[in-house]
Amino acid sequence: MACARGREDTLSTRTIGAPLIEAAAAVDRPKVRLSEYGFTVLQIETLLACNMACSFCAYPLLEDKGARLDDATVLRLLDQVDPDDPEFEYVCFSHYNEPLLDDRVFDFLRAARERGLKTLLITNGLALRSPETVERLLSAEPDFIKISFQTASRHKFYQSRGTGISYEKYALTVIDFLRVAQERGGRTKVTVDFACNFMPWYQRLIRGLLGVEAGDPSVRHDLTSLSPYVVDCVE
């Protein structure tokens, strides 16, 4: 699956005859400036597979698990993106999936870079327990790696992320990767995401009275309550 993301909307080329797919059918057509269609990010889901079952993610509900884009399709998509589009940000090799479960993703990252495109890889971090995977990922040199830590809570981690690994082992996996990436240096910028819904107490109260959901229960409501959990993780 491939989709282009703008500032507010996601365009799925699965269900819409997107300009990118149409252009991919003929290599002699000019490259596509996605920003002209209102999109600044291209997401390519090369393999629909994940090693978590997060309560806040749609992946467990999807019916086409295991769907796989062939190599030629991925490369044709990359070939049609205009790298000189001033508003285009990057190609993101993930959507609902865990991209590191696709052994080809390292070559796809290199292929995008060879075409002058910046790249982002979002991972839940479980696969970073493998030194070989860490080496291959850092050697592929994506511009950005985002680790979706999400649930900075020992008590809610298992239920929220749907995985058998302990919170402590997971946190150490992420921190060890950060250490290796820092020692290695290079062009890749690594960030870690901790979820926060930034919902004021009065909005939570109103939603509670109306019986409306206030977001995933494993997510902290504000930075003040989130900070101790992040500090605990780092320590």
Which tens digit of pLDDT belongs to each residue from 168-194? 899 899 999 999 999 998 889 999 988
Which tens digit of pLDDT belongs to each residue from 187-222? 899 999 887 777 777 777 777 777 776 666 667 777
The model scores a pTM over 0.75? yes
Question: CA 68 to CA 101: how far, in whole Å?
Answer: 12
φ, ψ of residue 170 to 5 degrees: the values are -65, -45
Read off the pLDDT band of 2 (50, 70, 90). low
CB 66, CB 17: distance < 8 Å: no
Find all residues with CB under 8 Å of 41, minimum gap 6, and list them: 4, 5, 6, 88, 89, 90, 91, 92, 120
The pair of structure tokens assigned to 142 is: 């994506």
Question: CA 226 to CA 223: how far, in whole Å?
Answer: 5
**Cβ burial 50-60 (10 Å sphere, 16+ → b, else e):** bebebbebebe
